[in-house]
Amino acid sequence: MSASSLPTVVVSAPLPADLRERLAARCSIIDVPAGQSPAQTLDAAQREALVGILCTMKTRIQRDELAALPKLKVVSNFAVGFDNIDVPAATEANVLVCNTPGVLDKAVADLTLGLLICLARNMVGGDAFVRSGQWARGAAPLTSDIRGKTLGLLGMGRIGREVARMACALGMEVIYHNRSHDEAAEREGLAQYRERDALFAESDFLSVHIPLSPSTRHGIGKREFSLMKPSAYFINTARGGVVNEAEMIEALKTGVIAGAGLDVMETEPLPGDHPLCSLSNVVLQAHVGSATVETRRAMIDLAAQNLLDAVGGTKPAAMVNPAVWEAGAAKA
């Protein structure tokens, strides 16, 4: 096939050289900087030809974007979350949405447990204690065991289950709330189900593992924080938008909860003068749950393969709206 007869795809994600070569053998690639709108960046002929987009969460694919790309078949997100894409609009437009589930569970679970231990053992405060020379004036304050404490998981998908496994191995009691009971996890003795309010009330550490969607946006706020113990910590490695951030900051400032470990915020990147940055009972990370060399490589491999499969007419491994694929297969 000549380069011009290859299907046109936009790449808006960091692509290792070997993967780029693999993609270039089967597609004509147009690079669009991450976060930039493909519809607004491409010229009319490119928009008309475009069949696939490989992008990160920074690229917003909404209804108007989809309407401007008449031949688009697939948006392959280099992330497990897909709140940057209007999935119902994509489904209406017969555009398949793909993501990267499974390959990042362990890395995100590692970071979740890292934040939990950091909070329980005051590791950030301990680092400052040593660096500032306070150690010479006496021992550091005592901290708390995590063993025997209760970890509440809001959301029991792949990542929640991985966190549950690790927390059980560390001797924690794990409880969870989810739309449906996870009978396998209960049978394995990983976690026990609780109603939502009971989860907030009983947890010593409450960790969030739900996706961001119109129905979960700002679902955690003043009411939920007031249910929590004043000694409890809140951990979020999912999406900042699931929390009412102003109400969380108020709860952290007024001692309604003891502290928080946050990898995600409503505004990312978080500006250095944001109120969260001045709270000493908060440990912050820069949305790095999946950001290890090995995990990001596995994610981009899967995202690129999803794109190639969808463009080439093979069923991709990870589809968010498989109805689009099934409808296409039924027609063929």
Residues at the contact surface with ligand DGY, assessed by CB under 6 A: 79-81, 104, 289-290
Give bridge partners of residue 153 from the DSSP assignment: 176, 207
Structure letter (DSSP) for residue 316: P
Query: Of 161, 209, 287, 296, which is the active-site residue?
Result: 287
How far is the C-alpha of 192 from the C-alpha of 181, rounded, in Å?
9
Minimal distance, residue 100 CB to ligand DGY, in Å? 6
Q: Which is nearer to ligand DGY, 104 or 220 (CB)?
A: 104
Pick the closer one to ligand DGY by CB: 102 or 126.
102
- In degrees, rounded to 5, the angle at the alpha carbon of residue 9 between the alpha carbons of residues 105 and 60 is 55
Q: Which residue among 239, 247, 266, 296 is the active-site one?
A: 239
239 is catalytic: yes
For ligand DGY, give the closer residue by CB, 114 or 289.
289
The Cα 8–Cα 43 span in angstroms is 13
Token pair for 25: 């053998």
Residue located via tokens 């995590």? 146
Which one, 28 or 59, has the nearer CB to ligand DGY? 59
The question of whether 177 is a catalytic residue gets the answer: no
State whether residue 32 is helix, strand or coil. coil
Distances (CA, A) of 168 to 150, 177, 188: 10, 16, 11
- Please state the closest distance from residue 81 (CB atom) to ligand DGY, in A: 3
Name the minimum Å distance from CB 288 to ligand DGY.
7
In the complex, least distance from residue 279 CB atom to ligand DGY, rounded to whole angstroms = 23
Pick the closest to residue 303 from 114, 91, 45, 85 (CA basis).
85
Active site residues: 239, 268, 287
